[in-house]
Amino acid sequence: MKPRILLVNPPIHDFTAYDFWLKPYGLLRVAGHLRSCADLHLFDYLDRLHPQMGGQLRADSFGRGAFRSEDIPTPTPLAQLRRQYRRHGLPRQLFQDLLASVPPFDVALVQTVMTYWYPGVREVIEDLRTLAPQTKIVLGGVYATVCPQHARKLGADLVVEGLDLNPLWNFLELSPEREPLPLWEAYPRLETGIIKLTEGCPFRCTYCSVPQIYPHFSGHLERALAEFDYLHQLGAQRVAFYDDALLFKQKQLFFPFLEEVIQRQT
């Protein structure tokens, strides 16, 4: 029997947040490795097209828009700021209802992004521990890589640092697919997809965490084209690039990508 794996993109706890095509690309790529060997279910708190939203959230002509949000107490270190702290994303009750209404998941893979968004990750872990105590919890992504010691204090069973996924495969006791497509089919409705033509950045700015996450710059033209084709097949109307240095080596990567896409669409 295939293991049941829950994929979670947490809510955002912050003064403000706006959907500039936010999608859990890293989580979906990891899930793609498990497409054939696990039963996968996605819960994306930041999915503005979620059926439960019923078309209530407005979007501009580019598919961007505000998240559903609610006022929450401001953390003590930020109390002097004269702004309202908010929780952005789907209602917490929807996630709790899911956990209470379906067979238990074996593992939950939780994506992390901004380091200061960890309260949303903590919320997810709290609900999993309360309503699905048998479910193992794995954290990965930017926060898990940049602040692994802090991330471990949230109570996950495994924190995956960086790009080496072997600890995850060993933890799951599964053999991943090689070079898979991201699990975009997990969305019941998909209008915007994400592509990374490159990974990393050739520069080493002292204030930037990118070199810590991607030690080397690399291009992935064929992979990006395959992912574009898949998004087009699924009916996505827009593509957003998540590259940190999209125009570096543009004649070898970006321009050939655009030329090939144009050729395929004519």
Say yes or no to pLDDT of 129 above 90. Answer: yes
Q: What is the mean pLDDT of the chain?
A: 95
pLDDT in tens, 29-64: 999 999 999 999 999 999 999 988 756 678 899 999
Q: How far apart are CA 154 and CA 148, in angstroms?
A: 10
| Amino acid residing at 180 | P
Residue 15's nearest CA partner among 121, 87, 64, 118 is 87
Neighbours of 219 (CB within 10 A): 21
CA-only gyration radius of the chain, Å: 19
Q: How far apart are CA 46 and CA 110, in angstroms?
A: 13
Q: How far apart are CA 16 and CA 84, in angstroms?
A: 9
Averaged pLDDT, 16-40: 97
Residue 256's nearest CA partner among 228, 233, 234 is 228
Structure tokens at 115: 């380091």
